[in-house]
Chains A and B, each alone.
Chain A
Amino acid sequence: MDFVSFLIQVLNSLQYGLLLFLVASGLTLVFGIMGIINLAHGSFYMVGAYLAFALTGMTGNLMLAIALGLPLAFVFGAILEWALFSHLYKRDHLEQVLLTYGLILIFEELRSLAVGDEVHGVTIPELFSASIPLSDNLSYPVYRLVISVVCLALAGGLYWLIQKTRLGMMIRAGSHDRDMVKALGIDINLLYRTVFALGVALAALAGMLAAPISSVYPGMGSSVLIISFVIVVIGGVGSVWGALVAALVIGFADTFGKVLLPDLAGLMVYLVMALVLLWRPEGIFRKG
């Protein structure tokens, strides 16, 4: 592999890993704070991608679609938490797995009823549709760089939110001891609803950003869901920074796996997970 194609693969790995981080961060927050295993989290990614498709069709521009879709996803998350997930906090993991498994089936079929089972494309906004030439015959699309930059900015934003704001303080406290947080007079229900809706919005945003490069297709949520779970486990359940590191590890493992060992590409990610868990059975950044 010459330097330019190596560079392209590195950029692809970063972009893929950072996109996965958006999905996994919500998953790990929701588990860390509320103790909920949400199998339907991948569906939010799918919902985002289909929102991008539908709204781009209506407004004619992906960026407008994201601006409209993001608040919609947040509200959708808040409603879902109120209607269903708030009943699951006291249930055991098994029932959470079951209910959210049922939700996957519901979301997939509703998607099929609403938009059908065809594969759809979403056009890249004109502003970012160019490619940067790297050598005579290789170039790198600007849009992929934009995704990486947006995701990095969001990771920074999350860091600021969790470490520097009052809401973040409550989130951190809630993940350590929820009864104590309640006892201090903090509205834990509102906190839960906000965090859940935030997770839904992040996953949906990942779906919207990915829509132009991966296209929009049935079952797109499942593959992302499983990979996100792997990331959450490797990073340490509940740890957002663990999720970031793990997402990048997985991004590189998957991208380079596909290039170097195409036959074992699907396996690569799980192999990495097995090795990490051998080394640290509770993930890299296990919190107390």
Chain B
Amino acid sequence: MNSQVSTIFKLAVMAGVLAFPAFGSDFYAEMVAKVLILAIFAMSLDLLVGFTGLVSFGHAAYFGIAAYVVALMTPKYDPANLWLALPASVLAAAVAAFVIGLFVLRTKGIYFIMVTLAFAQMAYYVFHDTPVGGGSDGIYLNFKPDAAIAGWAPFDLNEPHHLYYFVVAAMLAVYGLLKLVLRSPFGRVLVGIRSNEHRMLSLGYATFRYKLAAFTLAGALAGVAGFLYAVLFGFVTPEYLSWHKSGDVLLMVILGGMGNLGGAVAGAVALVGLQEIFTSVTKHWQLLMGLTIVAAVLFMPGGLTATPARIMARINGGKSNV
């Protein structure tokens, strides 16, 4: 897809998303909001997997930790303060990512994949086995965070439309932030690390610090997604940190095409869309999901966003270069 078509496409999608609550039902608005939140989650992982070349298989940990922080900060009969709860949960996710990053970034390749998974499992069991977060039942958030600043409320997250646009704004903010980060010298170093870490080292970059910064940022942004997810659905469970969740978000990134923020978004749309379609067909929907994944790996290298180019190349008779 050339850049003009791509820009027009993105703008059209954006217009559709912005106008959606005006004509779509609340049920579907909630689904779009869910997709947008998962898109944030997928983009945060893409920073690691697609741009820095770090395949984390434990990204759900940061998502879940942030979700638990907002749930724990919400008193039983009162809402939490949004302007405290949001930074606190994102900060908690960032700190967790920083500390875990100190350990896991010492390893490489397959070790990295497995060690990130193991640390995420550790976090999972903290919430699953100990009474910190209500054990395996999780916690309900009886109230959505209150946006009031000294008595004045710019918006109210209990209003479905307000919540919807809050999610849209967050998604755009994360997208914009990541675009900026990737264009910055810092982002260029990350891409350099993905292509050849040894070369970056010999050029004098302390790659460990760059990777740790990327890992922390990705954890924080996953925290944004976890915060929004907990607020949207009103409860948290240890499943938010489970390795299935880490697998799903990895799936979104790869399905959409790595190293491409639009791809991460497309992956989130595709995954939620497929889940909706398959669950409406059969209760054994995971079978269809599994078959789709296997087929996607075998026949669609490069992911969704690379597929139009591959098909065009096939039509033109040339060989695809992706």
Q: Is the CB of B286 within 8 A of A105?
A: yes
Q: Is the CB of A97 within 8 A of B55?
A: yes
Instruction: Report the minimum CB–CB distance from B252 to chain A (whole Å).
Output: 11
Contact among A91, A98, A263, A274 for B293, CB-based, below 8 A: A98
**Who on chain B is nearest to A286 by CB?**
B111
List of B residues within 8 angstroms of A37 by Cβ: 110, 113
In the bound complex, how far is the Cα of B296 from the Cα of A91, in angstroms? 13
Q: Interface centre among A87, A102, A263, A264, by most B CB within 10 Å?
A: A102
Per-position binary interface string of chain A over residues 71-90, scored 1 when its CB falls under 8 Å from any chain B CB and 0 otherwise: 00000000000001001000
Q: Is the CB of A93 within 8 A of B113?
A: yes
Q: Which of A212-254 contact B (CB under 8 A)?
A: 222, 226, 229-230, 232-233, 237
Q: Decide yes or no: A101 and B247 within 8 Å by CB, A84-B294, A232-B114 being known contacts.
A: yes
Q: Is the CB of B298 within 8 A of A99?
A: yes
List of B residues within 8 angstroms of A102 by Cβ: 289-294, 296-297
Q: Decide yes or no: A277 and B106 within 8 Å by CB, A232-B114, A267-B129 being known contacts.
A: yes
List of A residues within 8 angstroms of B103 by Cβ: 274, 277-278
Instruction: Report the minimum CB–CB distance from A51 to chain B (whole Å).
Output: 20
Contact among B115, B125, B294 for A233, CB-based, below 8 A: B115
Determine whether B25 belongs to the interface, using a CB cutoff of 8 Å to chain A: no
List of A residues within 8 angstroms of B254 by Cβ: 94-95, 98
List of A residues within 8 angstroms of B40 by Cβ: none
Determine whether B210 belongs to the interface, using a CB cutoff of 8 Å to chain A: no
**Who on chain A is nearest to B297 by CB?**
A99
Determine whether A281 belongs to the interface, using a CB cutoff of 8 Å to chain B: yes
**Who on chain B is nearest to A99 by CB?**
B297
Q: Is the CB of B287 within 8 A of A99?
A: no
In the bound complex, how far is the Cα of B114 from the Cα of A237, in angstroms? 11
Q: Which of A193-219 contact B (CB under 8 A)?
A: none
Q: Is the CB of A109 within 8 A of B284?
A: yes
Q: Mostly helix, strand, loop or mixed at chain A's interface? A: helix
Q: Is the CB of B113 within 8 A of A97?
A: yes
Per-position binary interface string of chain A over residues 99-112, scored 1 when its CB falls under 8 Å from any chain B CB and 0 otherwise: 10111111011101
Per-position binary interface string of chain A over residues 112-131, scored 1 when its CB falls under 8 Å from any chain B CB and 0 otherwise: 11000000000000000000
Contact among B49, B289, B301 for A105, CB-based, below 8 A: B289
List of A residues within 8 angstroms of B289 by Cβ: 102, 105
List of B residues within 8 angstroms of A84 by Cβ: 294
Q: Is the CB of A230 within 8 A of B250?
A: no
List of A residues within 8 angstroms of B182 by Cβ: none
Q: Decide yes or no: A113 and B57 within 8 Å by CB, A93-B113, A103-B294, A282-B107 being known contacts.
A: no
Q: Decide yes or no: A274 and B290 within 8 Å by CB, A95-B254, A97-B113, A109-B284 being known contacts.
A: no
Q: Which of B84-92, B116-124, B164-172, B214-222 contacts A (4 or more CB under 8 A)?
A: B116-124
Q: Which of B123-138 contact A (CB under 8 A)?
A: 124-126, 128-131
Contact among A226, A237, A277 for B243, CB-based, below 8 A: A226
Determine whether B251 belongs to the interface, using a CB cutoff of 8 Å to chain A: yes
Q: Is the CB of A264 within 8 A of B291?
A: no
Per-position binary interface string of chain B over residues 81-103, scored 1 when its CB falls under 8 Å from any chain A CB and 0 otherwise: 00000000000000000000001
Contact among A94, A99, A267, A274 for B294, CB-based, below 8 A: A99
- Chain A interface bracket (under 10, 10 to 19, 20 to 34, 35 or more): 35 or more
**Who on chain B is nearest to A92 by CB?**
B55
List of B residues within 8 angstroms of A106 by Cβ: 286-287, 290-291, 294
In the bound complex, how far is the Cα of B131 from the Cα of A280, in angstroms? 32
Q: Is the CB of B293 within 8 A of A226?
A: no
In the bound complex, how far is the Cα of B297 from the Cα of A22, in angstroms? 29
Q: Is the CB of A271 within 8 A of B122?
A: yes
In the bound complex, how far is the Cα of B298 from the Cα of A277, in angstroms? 34
Q: Is the CB of B284 within 8 A of A98?
A: no
Determine whether B154 belongs to the interface, using a CB cutoff of 8 Å to chain A: no
List of B residues within 8 angstroms of A271 by Cβ: 122
Q: Is the CB of A101 within 8 A of B111?
A: no
Q: Is the CB of A274 within 8 A of B122?
A: yes
Q: Which of B226-271 contact A (CB under 8 A)?
A: 243, 247, 250-251, 254, 258
Determine whether B109 belongs to the interface, using a CB cutoff of 8 Å to chain A: yes
In the bound complex, how far is the Cα of B106 from the Cα of A233, in angstroms? 13
In the bound complex, how far is the Cα of B118 from the Cα of A230, in angstroms? 7
In the bound complex, how far is the Cα of B244 from the Cα of A108, in angstroms? 13
List of B residues within 8 angstroms of A140 by Cβ: none
Instruction: Report the minimum CB–CB distance from A227 to chain B (whole Å).
Output: 9
Q: Decide yes or no: A267 and B286 within 8 Å by CB, A87-B298, A102-B297, A277-B107 being known contacts.
A: no
Q: Is the CB of A281 within 8 A of B297?
A: no
12 contacts between A and B (CB under 8 A): A94-B49, A94-B254, A98-B251, A99-B297, A102-B292, A106-B294, A109-B286, A109-B287, A226-B118, A226-B243, A230-B114, A281-B107
Chain B interface residues toward A at CB < 8 A: 49, 55, 57, 103, 106-107, 109-111, 113-115, 117-119, 121-122, 124-126, 128-131, 243, 247, 250-251, 254, 258, 284, 286-287, 289-294, 296-298, 301
Contacts A102-B297, A273-B118 supplied; 11 other A-B pairs, CB < 8 Å: A91-B297, A94-B258, A105-B286, A226-B243, A229-B118, A237-B110, A264-B125, A264-B129, A264-B130, A273-B115, A282-B111
